[in-house]
Structure 1
Amino acid sequence: MSLILSASVVRVRDGLPLSASTDCEQSVGVQECRKYFKTLAKKLAQLPDRCTLQVGKYNINFISSLGVSYMMLCTENYPSVLSFCFLNELQKEFITTYDMMKTNTAVRPYCFIEFDNFIQRTKQRYNNPRSLSTKINLADMQTEIRLRPPYQISLSELGSPNGLPHISLKEYKAPHQRLVPVTLSGIVSFVLSLLCGALNLIRGFHATESLLQNEGEDFSYVIAFFLGTAACLYQCYLFVYCTGWRNIKSFLTFGLICLCNMYLYELRNLWQIFFHVTVGAFSTLQIRLRQPQGKSPDYNV
């Protein structure tokens, strides 16, 4: 069952809790996840303004704005778009209700605990998606998450906070982000990249054969052909899989394709070089356009 379990409002600069929901969920997994709230609260100033942390069968999502962070704990199958709509509602209500000067000067934990009444009412609505009256905003949030997905925090980034049990890699796997669906132009770029890789591979074998037959073939040409093959295949890999620094890697790979074709200027005519470079640029563009997507919601928006 997908549910929001708890939520809290925390000051970013020092992690001071300003308000929190009063929950009666006492399972071991939830109690352990709440310990991560404290660890995250101490690191909010170092993290992006929209993040997700997966801990076992639960997700911790939060957004930060104007020095205040709004955090929530939910089950792993709770739709991401609903999670961040829920946090946005908390943010709007908190900013409207309380003077930011008071939040900045607060010294006592939970000095805005009365905000829990709004948290509880909002949580009940979002735990019953059919009762939501703001579905028109969900489509906007889904688009925003697709264009700017939340930063996925890894457990290793949090270190080993005091009081937390040893984390088993088998028990807690990093969340896998899916890419947006493949388009026709993306398929074309993938096929053309494979074609360029195959052409480079064939020419590389021919250059190797010529070198072995002592026909004066330069060994550096062999390296350039095989590097070109590797670059084309790596572009295909980047197009299919979501990896860290994906866009930067795609630009560096395209640069390698350009360098290899510049070096092979004497062995290829201008049209061949133009074809390889154009395919490389086209594939780089498709990699850039195929960005990670948020978790798919469990209902139509």
Structure 2
Amino acid sequence: MKYIKIKGTSLEVSNIVMGCMRLNSLDVREAQRHIETAIAAGINMFDHADIYGGGECEELFSKAIDMKSRIREKIIIQSKCSIRNGYYDFSREYIIAAVDGILKRLHTEYLDILLLHRPDALMEPEETADAIRSLKKSGKVRYFGVSNQNPMQIELLQKYSEERLLFNQLQFSLVHTPLIDSGMAVNMQIGQSVDRTCGTLEYCRLKDITIQAWSPFQRGFFEGPFIGDMEHYGELNNMINHLAEKYEVTPSAVAVAWLTRHPADIQVILGTTKDSRMLEGCSGSWIPLTREEWYGLYKAAGNMIP
């Protein structure tokens, strides 16, 4: 497992993260086994959100590992808040209450990382920054970040927050590549040249913000996996299968390796509840794809390399 040192912090995180969005589909014993499998594979970071299972996933996680100090000290727990019933909320009152609820469900005194889940168009940055300040001072949250935000949204909040925003969780996979598309086709009159992210990838690298890739196997928003989908991605799957044979791994590992090969030190969030699939994904942590292979996969996914 490859680990990433987060600059300016004491955090050293695995580049593969166990996502807990569907954890409540397991019973306590199954969840315990799944978490222990992740830890044995070298994963030290676990991603939650207050909306996952309406809080059930956080509760189940704490029951499954019994949140004993000897275990808690070895793992990094991240959770997210801001998505409510049909709207987003960055108000101080909501964020403070949301974190209290998260801590109660997880049976822990602190979160290692809190992310603001989806941008709130009605954000008052001074108020949101005050919530961050309060959570840091109280010891309830150690580090902070955002999710699904562009550079100017981050800059607006960072202007008022003395706590550096360290993470940005974004959808990114071999078949969802807006983060790099326009950079591949600068100044060309084609759809790929349209900058849909405002230079988010480059901005995060400049600011030492770690990108966390969610839905690494999905096409579209939640339209199903692209691995094995020969109808829509035949050429891509043929190349993935070829590389899987070369590196003696599964296709899932190749899809993960395409992300981890990027020099931005991207973390990949695996949301599976199957032990075998998680271990397959972990195999992509260190695969040294060549430039030719990396660009070849990008092109096979239907993109232009001018």
Tell me if TM exceeds 0.5: no
Larger RCO (alpha carbons 8 Å, 6+ apart): 1
Larger radius of gyration: 1
* TM-score of the superposed pair, with normalisation by structure 1: 0.22
* TM-score of the superposed pair, with normalisation by structure 2: 0.21
Structure (1 or 2) with the greater helix fraction: 1
